[in-house]
Amino acid sequence: MKNDAGNKVDVNLYGEVVESVPIDWWTGEKVEGLFIELKQFLSDIDSLSGADEVTFHINSMGGDVEAGIAIYNKITAMEAKTTTIVEGLAASAASIIAQAGDTRIMGTGSQMMIHGASI
């Protein structure tokens, strides 16, 4: 997260959407990589309660749909003006998160993949 002047905050949501960071089967250690971890997101988002504007920069192939829905709901509940910007890819669960902004922007050349409804 980056807090700019004027109480504006930028949040990078890069990586796989997960409830918790995966653990390597062989070593028992956390897997290296970029993750949008639900637990960490919820902790970070609570620290933004006084922000006027929050911009979420998204580049994610998706992941855990339940974590994505929880993140979506947390963003839509914010009192701050929110903007979501897809900077590369917003696929699957990340496409849900991308819809949470009051303003939604797709960067040049960016892509969004939404699964077809099956229920």
**Position 1 pLDDT exceeds 80:** no
Residues 75-110: tens digit of each pLDDT: 999 999 999 999 999 999 999 999 999 999 999 999
User: Is the separation of the CB atoms in 72 and 99 below 8 Å?
Assistant: yes
Cβ neighbours, 10 Å, residue 33: 10
Tell me the pLDDT band of 118, cut-offs 50, 70 and 90: confident
State the catalytic residues: 92, 115
Residues 24-36: tens digit of each pLDDT: 999 999 999 999 9
Cβ neighbours, 10 Å, residue 31: 13
Cβ neighbours, 10 Å, residue 7: 13
**Position 67 pLDDT exceeds 70:** yes
Mean pLDDT, rounded, for 3-19: 87
